[in-house]
Amino acid sequence: MSTTTIAFFNNKGGVEKTSLVYHTVWMFAELGVGAVAVDLDPQANLTSAFLDDDRLEELWSDESSENNIHRCVQPLIEGTGDVADPHLEHVADYLSLVVGSLDLFRFEDHLSEVWPKCMDKDPRAFRVTSAFWRIMQRAAEIAEADVVLMDLGPNLGAINRAALISADYVVVPVAPDLFSLQGLRNLGPALNQWNSQWADRTTKNPVPGLSLPPGPIKPIGYIVMQHSERLSRPTKAYEKWAARIPSLYRSEVLGERTPPGGIEMEGDENCLAMLKHYRSLMPLAQEARKPIFRLKAADGVVGAHAQTVQDAYGHFKKLACEIAKRTGIPIPIS
């Protein structure tokens, strides 16, 4: 039985996607859920959130024998073999990381090349296309994890196509602005197309015993990020864009009709959470290499920030529990 995989994706950047993956995977670990974070963004921002420069230099050096995500697929790139087992960087109890790599971009052309060849029943095409899926499942097996969360770059290229067909579920971070809403308009058709194309290809797999992503990718909801607040309500500068998100998500991503009167975000079943920007706490968390909700006085949290840290814990716990509910992941710790 495969381990649940969840992608966090919007092809619009600047929606705090990496921070969202980072905090959610930490919260799963806090709740006793075995979790693996996988960095499939060639910019490797998620990896740098977890690890300091000294450790990154060790892992990325030519002398290192520990397989980051690029080294896992390198045998396929070079034509010398199949995927290698990933190195799992232990972060905390219940939490491990498959380390990203700036060299992952080298895999893009190979993924583009083999996608049409799957229709010709080409064995290598299926090995390359399923590489991310098999690496993630192996990582979950090694870590004895219950869930894999992946961070992706903001584009609709071949790397993200291979990553998304490897996802059981997708969470869509959005910001209440024009560009993020346009991202939703692009995302929905891409997911539908890739689901259909992958379903056609899986019937042509010529390699006995080769594990393939089962598909289809199922969107489970959106998260509204970076809304400014005044008296605990979003400011008017964001309201007109935020008001459009529920209907646009339903029509463009889910392909469903919206009611004649539209949909209010408050109470929208597709809205997983509305998370504010934590502003001055984010640099403290980045410096301490820990999530906001784990910050202490020794990290520089003083005064009203202590309450904000507590609030962040509650917000991310609620989010993790809602994602777990929608994906069937059991939560050991209440």
In the chain, count H helices and then E strands. Answer: 13, 10
Q: What is the pLDDT of residue 227?
A: 56
Judged against a pLDDT cut of 70, whether residue 236 lies above it is answered with: no
Q: Is 66 in a helix, a strand, or coil?
A: coil
Out of 3-12, 114-123, 124-133, 144-153, least confident range:
3-12
Nearest to 171 by CA among 112, 221, 224, 236: 221
Nearest to 87 by CA among 107, 61, 59: 59
Mean pLDDT score, 78-91: 97
> Domain tally for the chain?
1
CATH of the domain at 195: 3.40.50.300
Q: Is residue 240 part of a domain?
A: yes
* CA–CA distance, 275 with 290 (Å, rounded to integer): 18
Out of 11-15, 204-208, 310-314, least confident range:
11-15
The better pLDDT of the pair 285, 37 is held by 37
Q: Is residue 98 part of a domain?
A: yes
Mean pLDDT score, 182-211: 94
pLDDT band at 281 (very low <50, low <70, confident <90, very high): confident
Tell me if 310 sits within 8 A of 318, measured CB to CB.
no
Q: Is residue 321 part of a domain?
A: yes
Q: What is the pLDDT of residue 211?
A: 95
Q: Is residue 95 part of a domain?
A: yes
User: Average per-residue pLDDT in the chain?
Assistant: 91
Instruction: Give residue 119's domain range.
Output: 4-327
CB atoms under 10 Å from CB of 47, counted, come to 27
Tell me if 246 sits within 8 A of 262, measured CB to CB.
yes
Q: Is 222 in a helix, a strand, or coil?
A: strand
Judged against a pLDDT cut of 50, whether residue 83 lies above it is answered with: yes
Q: Is residue 333 part of a domain?
A: no
- Which residue type sits at 199? A
* CA–CA distance, 130 with 159 (Å, rounded to integer): 11
Residues whose CB falls within 8 Å of the CB of residue 292, separated by 6 or more in sequence, listed in order: 23, 278, 281, 282, 284, 285, 308, 309, 312
- What is the widest separation between alpha-carbon atoms in the chain? 64
Q: What is the pLDDT of residue 58?
A: 94
Mean pLDDT score, 264-268: 84
CB atoms under 10 Å from CB of 257, counted, come to 9
Nearest to 139 by CA among 185, 181, 87, 99: 87
* CA–CA distance, 52 with 44 (Å, rounded to integer): 13
Q: What is the pLDDT of residue 226?
A: 61
Q: Is residue 140 part of a domain?
A: yes
Q: Which residue, chain included where needed, has tokens 């290499």?
A: 289
Pairing type for strands 95-98 and 147-151 reads unpaired
Tell me if 181 sits within 8 A of 248, measured CB to CB.
yes
Q: What percent of the chain has pLDDT over 70?
A: 96
Q: Is residue 334 part of a domain?
A: no
- Which residue type sits at 224? V
Judged against a pLDDT cut of 90, whether residue 27 lies above it is answered with: yes
Pairing type for strands 35-39 and 88-92 reads unpaired
Angle between helices 305-327 and 17-30 (to 10 degrees): 80
Q: Is 122 in a helix, a strand, or coil?
A: coil
Q: Is residue 332 part of a domain?
A: no
